[in-house]
Structure 1
C-alpha cells in the first residue's frame, strides 16, 4: 500500500507541474498580476477542511436526454497540503452498484489566482487523471471549467461550489456538448459537516 501511495503522489505531483502552464482561457479567468503573487483566493477551499457526510444525486446517462437519476450517500475527508497551496480529499461513494473511492487534488496558482482540480477514480487507479478543471471563487461561488471528451466527442465540464456555510456546502457537475451554450447538470452533492 505504501508503494501505491508513493507512485500515486508522484503521478499527481507530475500532473500538477505539467499542467500548470496549460490554463484554459475563459471570460472567468482573473487577470494575472505581474511580479506580485495573487493570494486573493488562497484560502477559498479552507471551508472544506475536515470530515463531511454527503448526499449524492447522479444522472445515470450523461448528455443522452436522460432523466433517470440515482441517489446515494457517502463521505468526504479533506486536508491541506503544501502550507495551504494545495489540498486533497478522500471520497467514499456508497452507490447502488457498490462502494468505491475517489480522490480530488487541488493546487493554487499564485500567478493567475486560480485553482486547478484533478480527479482520480478509485475504480481505475492506474488510469489517466481527468483533465483539471480550473477557476476561482467570486461572491462565495466557485466555478471551474475544463475541456474533455465523452463517447469520443469533445465536451466542456463545469464544477460549481455554492451554498457554503460553516456546516453545509453544495457541489454540482455539468457537461456541455455545444461549447458552453447549454449545460446539463449530471451530478450534485450536498454536504453536511460531521460533528
Structure 2
C-alpha cells in the first residue's frame, strides 16, 4: 500500500521539487535594475541555499544567502503543493524588504520544466512575474525570472538567472 501511495504522489506532482532538496551553490546573473525595462547592465554574484521537505512532502522550505555588491542578503522560499489542482504555490521573502511576503506565483512542471506565474507590483504598477525552472541534470538546475507588464500577453527577456549546482 505504501508503494502505491508513493507512486501516486509522484505522479500527481507533489514530488516535483524533491530534486532541490539539499545544499546548492548559485551563480547569479541579474539586471542591475530589474524594474527598468531599458536596463542592459548585468551584475553577477554568488549564493548558497538549503532546501528540505515540510508537511509530509506537501511542501518545502528553502533558505538562501546571496551576496550582491558584497553584502549578505538572506532570503527564503516557501513552496506548497495543492493536490486538488496539482499545482504549486511559491512565496518569496527576504531581508531586503523586512516584513514583506511576496504574493505567490502558481504553476507546475511539465517534464523537466516548471513555469510559475503570479501578480506583483512595482511603484504602484501591477505586473506579472514568471519563475522558470529548468532541470539540466541531477546536480544542475537553472532558475530564471521575467516580467509581463501587459497582463501576460508578452513577457520581457529574462531579468534574473541563477545556475544552481548541488553541493551536498
Q: Report the TM-score when normalising by structure 2.
A: 0.89
2:10, 2:16 within 8 Å by CA — same for their partners in 1?
no
Q: Secondary structure at the match of 2:56?
A: helix
For residue 169 of structure 1, the aligned residue among 102, 126, 141 is: 141
Q: Which residue of 2 aligns with 1:58?
A: 30
Q: Is the 8 A contact 1:38 1:112 kept in 2?
A: no
Q: Does 1:148 align with 2:136?
A: no
Return 147-156 or 56-65, whichever deviates more: 56-65
Superposed displacement of residue 125, structure 1:
3.0
CA RMSD of superposed structures (Å) = 1.6
- 1:1-195 map, 5 Å: 40-61=12-33, 62-126=35-99, 128-184=100-156, 185-195=158-168
Give structure 1 stretches of 5+ with no counterpart: 1-36
CA–CA separation in structure 2 for the residues paired with 1:172 and 1:116: 16
Which stretch of the first structure deviates more once superposed, 69-78 or 174-183? 174-183
TM-score, normalized by length of structure 1? Answer: 0.77
> Offset at 1:165?
1.5
Which consecutive unaligned segments of at least 5 residues does structure 2 have?
1-8
- Report the Cα distance in structure 1 between the residues aligned to 2:12 and 2:87, rounded to whole angstroms: 9
Structure 1 residue 38 displacement after superposition: 9.8
Q: Greater shift after overlay, 169-178 or 62-71? A: 62-71
Query: Residue 182 of structure 1: CA displacement?
Result: 2.2
More strand by proportion, 1 or 2?
2
Shift in Å at residue 39 of structure 1?
A: 5.7
- Report deviation, 1:131: 0.5
* 1:26-64 Cα deviation digits (max 9, x unpaired): xxxxxxxxxxx9961010000000000000011112242
Query: How many pairs are equivalent?
Result: 158
Runs of 4 or more, structure 1, over 3 Å off, are none
